Amino acid sequence: MARTPPETLYTAALPTPLGEARVVFDRDGVLCAFDWTSHEARMRRLLRRHHGPAQPETAAAPSAVRQAVADYFDGQVEALARLAWRTNGTAFQQAVWRALCEIPAGRTESYGQLAARIGAPKAVRAVGLANGANPVGLVVPCHRVIGADGSLTGYGGGMERKRWLLAHEGVALRQAA
């Protein structure tokens, strides 16, 4: 049986106030991964998991991606919602990622609230795992999920970035004790 060759993906670096971001997109300009260059190994692992053995080729980022990222960091915090994205994952992961996109900028939800909203109130840990397996960070806003007590919890891009992103979006953060 002949194997299907891996799809062709492309990658580009984008400057942001939080350091360089790395985007991966398909031939149609649809985003397949977003992460920080300082966390590129993590992004590549997730990319392999969700898109197979493709080795992205360097190319210019699509203008829609460049513009949405620039607009987001310029204060238009809903700008990333207009980007098309796609990734593979289990049905559960896909449900979590779609639900993440429903959390508006400036708001947060706990893992428990997110689990309840997708109809799986006892699946709090599974929601956390799906959140952590999100290859399209920032665009699929996993940074908007916090602990039930309002505390900041893990973020693949680092806690300082998470804190900055939430403050940028207008979230009033609880002060550390």
Percentages helix, strand, coil for the chain (3-state, rounded to 5) are 40, 15, 45
- Of the candidates 43, 142, 146, 152, the residue annotated as catalytic is 142
User: 170 near 77, Cβ under 8 Å?
Assistant: yes
DSSP assignment letter at 84: -
Query: Is residue 142 among the annotated active site residues?
Result: yes
Alpha-carbon Rg for the chain, nearest whole angstrom, is: 16
The torsion defined by the Cα of 48, 96, 30 and 169, in degrees rounded to 10, comes to -120
Nearest to 14 by CA among 31, 1, 27, 2: 31
Neighbours of 105 (CB within 10 A): 19
Both tokens of 93, joined, read 């992961």
Cα gap 115→31, rounded to integer Å: 25
**Residues noted as catalytic:** 142
